[in-house]
Amino acid sequence: MTAARPSLRRLPATLVNRIAAGEVVERPASAVKELVENAIDAGARRVSVTLTEGGRGLIAVVDDGVGMTPQEMALAVERHCTSKLPDENLLDIRTLGFRGEALPSIASVSRFTLVSRPADADTAWSLSIDGGRVEPVRPAAHPPGTRVEVRDLFFATPARLKFLKEPRTEAGHVADTLRRLAMAHPAIAFRLEDEGRVVLDLAATSGDLVAGPAAARLERLAAIMGRSFADNALAIDANREGFRLSGFAGLPTLNRPTAREQYLFVNGRPVRDKLLAGAVRGAYRDFLANDRHPMVALFLDAPAGQVDVNVHPAKTEVRFREAGLVRGLIVGALRTALAAAGHRASTTVAEAALGAARPGGLPMARGGAGWTGGAWRAPGLSETAAIFQAPLGAATAPLAEPSARVEAAAPGDASWPLGVARAQLHETYIVAQTGKGVVIVDQHAAHERLLHERLKDQLEREGVRRQTLLIPEIVELPEDAVRRLVARADELGNLGLTLEPFGAGAVAVRETPALLGEVDVQGLVRDLAEELAELGDHLSLKERIEEVCGTMACHTSVRAGRRLTVEEMNALLRQMEATPHSGQCNHGRPTYVELKLADIERLFGRR
């Protein structure tokens, strides 16, 4: 027996809408995102969201935008009806929404009510849809703007309800969605209520005439990410070939165990893009351990024709025509800002130190101020010793030139940013006095950063030393991968990797970077080929070399337990002041803690 051949048929509109709802509306937060984006596109200056049962029972979104006429309301709930593509050009999208799917998709799986009134109209109108069944438009009472109510979400698709989390969890996803939209649009006020409790209440910010819009954005970011981020954020503003990157990036010492506090936007749209996240990770690779992540809020303005936002129905993924250019812009802008920060470290480091300090009784001191029983020793009693030399032989210079040591700081001069050395505690920490307080330096972490920066500078000036393979390594690859590698052969050669084509589907590697030591040539070349295919860049090799520099610096820097002379300690402080990124070691830990005198006095009840 043979099965009957199925015939083609057109799916019912209600079923089509439910399929679209599965793509656009995965949970209450998805519905809120679509509705709030519509409000922003409508020119709203205030947006209010109300939830019950985490959005499952009720989602109400109210805005003061331009509103809609009864005819427009009837069209708005039909699929693919939109006012946001006037010239029907998907390559020139300037609004958050454009598909015309959100309202009909949400209405098909809920009990949906739309009330709207244009600013120049005398009355409002209401339209109701129950599980896809449209009711006639009726007059209603409502101020200018629009109100959308979504009740009993997914009642028409009970299977979807099983995948929803607890109401508090779903409300948390809604709050996160609203925060992201609020970051991108600081001129709009946002409010979120959950079961009568105000979760979010953000006033509109406009900045002042002097500070400009950047101040307004930072004010909004401070309200969402915390004042500590605003106090320790570096302003980002860079341009390249029509792309502009702005926003703020936290100091490396202000880091988190996950990437949750990384907010990325493209043309005002919150996105979760692997390319952008990878660029941020690459920019901070030199400053953070693999399990730590920076706090950033970055806004990329791209020419409409250079970015495709029509990749996924949720519009959280984008594709760039010039992915390598975008990655290079982000990495370069972040590293420039981090370099300009100099030896600055996050203020949260000092706050944590002060928070850990507890007043209490102490045992009686032994031996007076000059006691050397192991707790501390005065620098004036330091043994005579030659000035410390960095233990890298010819690879590095001494810690400081003799003239710098002599002129570094007079015994009582505390005008330097990191002050003048007064003691070494536990042969690990340098205590320096500044004009406004005290600085405590981790001698190993600080010298590790100094050596790392010196090694990188040497690589920039002298290039990467190469090691020649006795027998060239033949790496078989697809032909297109071979073409990409050969096209970048000169750039890879500057990084110490010398290769050439070896037939149609292979390359011959003759030299590798000496810093990498014993390297898996096959894996290295294949990884490079994959990255060139995706990003059109060769940063992975640079990052590997810089990672080796960091390891070398860690193993060759001055260790804890090494006694330093006064001159050595002051030389270390002076070089920290003159070296970029010296506020943190290669793993993101702080190299020093600065305690203000006023805070210390407060600990002792003197203020």
pLDDT single digits (tens) 437-479: 899 999 888 888 887 777 677 677 777 788 899 999 999 999 9
Which residues pair with residue 126 across a beta bridge? 115, 138
Pick from 218-222, 339-343, 366-370: least confident:
366-370
Per-residue pLDDT at 211: 54
Contact in structure between 145 and 65 (CB atoms under 8 Å): yes
Taking each helix axis from N to C end, the angle separating 28-41 and 167-184, rounded to the nearest 10 degrees, works out to 30
Q: How confident is the model at residue 173 (pLDDT cuts 50, 70, 90)?
A: very high
| Stretch (H or E) spanning 179 | helix 167-184
Burial of residue 212 (number of CB atoms within 10 Å: 0-12, 13-18, 19+) = exposed
d(CA 130, CA 432): 72
- Which are the contacts of 410, defined by CB distance < 8 A and separation ≥ 6? 420
Higher pLDDT, 244 or 76: 244
Over residues 121-135, the mean pLDDT reads 88
What pLDDT does residue 140 have? 93
Distance of alpha carbon 96 from alpha carbon 87, whole angstroms:
16
Confidence (pLDDT) at 254: 87
Q: Is the pLDDT of residue 582 over 90?
A: no
The torsion region of residue 164 among left (phi > 0), alpha (psi -120 to 50) and beta comes to: beta
pLDDT number for residue 592: 87
Q: Where are the beta strands (DSSP E) in 231-330?
A: 233-240, 243-250, 255-256, 262-266, 269-271, 293-294, 296-301, 307-308, 319-320
CATH number for 13-202: choose from 3.40.50.300, 3.30.70.1380, 1.20.1250.20, 3.30.565.10.
3.30.565.10
Q: How far apart are CA 349 and CA 361, in angstroms?
A: 25
CB-based contact 115:126 (threshold 8 Å): yes
Task: Give the per-residue pLDDT at 367.
Answer: 40
For residues 6 and 264, which has the higher predicted lDDT (pLDDT)? Answer: 264
Return the higher-pLDDT residue of 126 and 109.
Answer: 126
CATH architecture of the domain 213-340 equals 2-Layer Sandwich (3.30)
Main-chain phi, psi angles of 69, to 5 degrees: -80, 165
Tokens of 302: 């791209």
Which range among 296-305, 455-464, 524-533, 550-559 has the greatest average pLDDT? Answer: 296-305
Q: What angle do CA 273, 278, 282 make, to 5 degrees?
A: 155
Domain extent listing, the chain: 13-202, 213-340, 342-357+378-607
Of 365 and 263, more confident:
263
Judged by DSSP in three states, 223 sits in helix
The residues, any chain, with a CB within 8 Å of residue 604's CB and separated by 6 or more, are: 359
- pLDDT tens digits along 341-368: 876 766 666 666 666 665 554 444 444 4
Mean pLDDT estimate for the chain: 79
528 — pLDDT class (breaks 50, 70, 90)? confident
What's 342-357+378-607's CATH class? alpha beta
Percentage, residues of the chain above pLDDT 70: 74
